[in-house]
Amino acid sequence: MARITAIKHSEFVLIGGGIMSATLAILLYEKFPGKKITIIEKLPKVAEESSEAWNNAGTGHSGNCELNYTPEKNGIVNPEKALKTAEQFHETLDFWKNCAEKGYIHNLSKCISSVPHISFVEGKRDVDFLERRWNVLKETEYFKDMLFSTDREKIAEWVPLMVKGRNKRSKIAATYIKDGYDVNFGEIAEQIFRYLEKQPNIQLIKNSNVINLQKTDNKRWLLTVKGQNVGKHWKMVSNYLFIGAGGGALSLLEKSNIREARGYGGFPISGLWLRCTNPEIIEQHQAKVYGKAKKGAPPMSVPHMDTRVINGRKELLFGPYAGFTTKFLKHGSYFDLPKSVEFDNIMSLLGAGYHNLPLVGYLVKQVSLKFEDRMEMLREFYPEAKDEDWKVVVAGQRVQIIKKSAKGFGKLEFGTEVIVSKDKTIAALLGASPGASTSYSVMKTVVEKCFN
Ligand SMILES: Cc1cc2nc3c(=O)[nH]c(=O)nc-3n(C[C@H](O)[C@H](O)[C@H](O)COP(=O)(O)OP(=O)(O)OC[C@H]3O[C@@H](n4cnc5c(N)ncnc54)[C@H](O)[C@@H]3O)c2cc1C
């Protein structure tokens, strides 16, 4: 039996040291000056899970190039999601600029880089769709500078690697937005935490895994925390609790026993990238290029070939290739999925599996892909790609939300969900899309729901 050491107190406790907690910590720090805020992180460093640069695609999602944000029905393109994401991204971008002005972020240029955003398609049907999409978007303020072309020479100016060696008879098209962004979300979180750690009322505790939480009689939250290095357990009491534990959020939310959390489940999807190792090739590509998802593929598996800027170095990634795992975190346990099954959510989980058989089939196929198959998929983007210039690297984990539908069965959701208890003392974030790009808008919602 582990020894329980001292009980600590804090007005606010934020579980998890990713970009979401970093953002919320700043909002609370400004709204409640002098109040004690504690952030508890399981790993030895902050932002080592989904927020870490190599674990995500670093796209400042703003609807510029993501074709799944503009679904089409009966020939009519719906721009709603692209417009909402653009608004939330620009709001978040302004927040980061503001953080830099106030000194919370000390080196913004290490965090965000300007990289054009491009959608690229091949084949008449998709070319026609892209043109219809462009016709709708260019009429709006956010996308008024979007360019469209079917001209190979023009497209080759934007993305030379994608045109060279391509069948000359195939129809291709692209849209181009110059002012897109690559974002190092992990760097943003790290810089914010570095600032916050120095403030007298803020405490960042690393190497500490929150293993249990319960409501006390006087309506506060009692957390049990396990120190990873020393193996000691300690307790923490707080008035307000935010679960920003990424893939770890669901199991903590289940432990809270709040009504609002009932029926939720999680479906983990892992990811792999192909990373370019040839500097000459990396230099020839300067864009984030999104294509169309394959049939049955989940929206987060839309293939893209991305210029990245990580620690001041230009990189080139292709993917992500999805896969199935039972882990909810990259540094998690294979028991995460089985342990998340409860009486309350078992029907949701079974229902979601049954109603998403094409997705399950897609994931099974992705898991069995060999390196050669992955290179073949890359060649649909970059026809002359050579095996020796690419290697496989592991991306982060996503846990898609399974939500109870009106009929009691589960529905797989690809968005983000903020869950707040009726008494507003606990909030949690589930899901991963559009993700870190909209972190300010999402955390602002948490503050509004809990404190207004
Ligand atoms: C493959 C992939 C590609 C993506 N691409 C993009 C993209 O291009 N653009 C975009 O905007 N978003 C993207 N995302 C989503 C984005 O990465 C996430 O939305 C964002 O990083 C989530 O931040 P977070 O702070 O909620 O979670 P995380 O960064 O995962 O942080 C959670 C933290 O909680 C800690 N933790 C977990 N359990 C506990 C516990 N019990 N006790 C203490 N600490 C705990 C973890 O160690 C971790 O540090 C992508 C994600 C993936 C996986």
Q: Which residues are registered as beta bridge partners of 410?
A: 404
Say how many Å lie between the CA of residue 51 and the centre of ligand 1: 5
Share of the chain above pLDDT 70, in %: 89
Contacts for 128 with CB less than 8 Å, ≥ 6 apart: none
- Is the omega angle on the peptide bond into residue 320 within 30 degrees of 0, that is, cis? yes
- Is the omega angle on the peptide bond into residue 71 within 30 degrees of 0, that is, cis? no
* pLDDT value for 400: 77
Which one of 43, 49, 190, 418 would you pick to mutate in the ligand 1 pocket, going by the greatest count of ligand atoms within 8 A of its CB? 49
Is residue 208 over pLDDT 60? yes
* 131, two tokens: 């043109």
Say how many Å lie between the CA of residue 373 and the centre of ligand 1: 28
> Looking at the 3D structure of the chain, how many domains does it have?
1
Hey, how many other C-beta atoms are within 10 angstroms of the C-beta on 311? 9
Residue 233: alpha-carbon gap to chain centroid: 31
Q: In this structure, are residues 60 and 181 in contact, taking their beta carbons and an 8 Å threshold?
A: yes
Helix or strand holding residue 281 (H, E): helix 279-284
d(CA 112, CA 96): 9
Output the domain CATH number for residue 300: 3.50.50.60
d(CA 142, CA 128): 22
42 CB under 6 A from ligand 1? yes
Q: In this structure, are residues 18 and 189 in contact, taking their beta carbons and an 8 Å threshold?
A: yes
Whose CA is closest to 12, among 255, 200, 32?
32
Q: Which amino acid is at 21?
A: S
Find the mean pLDDT for residues 359-382.
84
Hey, how many other C-beta atoms are within 10 angstroms of the C-beta on 302? 20
Per-residue pLDDT of 294-323, as tens digits, reads 766 666 668 899 999 999 999 999 998 887
Say how many Å lie between the CA of residue 49 and the centre of ligand 1: 5
* Residue nearest atom 4 in ligand 1 by C-alpha distance: 56
Say how many Å lie between the CA of residue 378 and the centre of ligand 1: 26
* Atom of ligand 1 lying closest to residue 209 CA: 42
Helix or strand holding residue 113 (H, E): strand 112-114
Q: Which of 49-63, 240-254, 284-298 has the lowest mean pLDDT?
A: 284-298
Is residue 369 over pLDDT 90? no
- Give φ, ψ of 451 to 5 degrees: -120, 5
Is residue 1 over pLDDT 50? no
Which one of 14, 51, 92 would you pick to mutate in the ligand 1 pocket, going by the greatest count of ligand atoms within 8 A of its CB? 51
Is residue 4 over pLDDT 60? no
Say how many Å lie between the CA of residue 430 and the centre of ligand 1: 10
20 CB under 6 A from ligand 1? yes
Which one of 15, 27, 45, 56 would you pick to mutate in the ligand 1 pocket, going by the greatest count of ligand atoms within 8 A of its CB? 56
Write out the residue range of the structural domain in which residue 55 sits: 4-451
Work out the pLDDT band at 433, boundaries 50, 70, 90.
low
Find the mean pLDDT for residues 433-441.
89
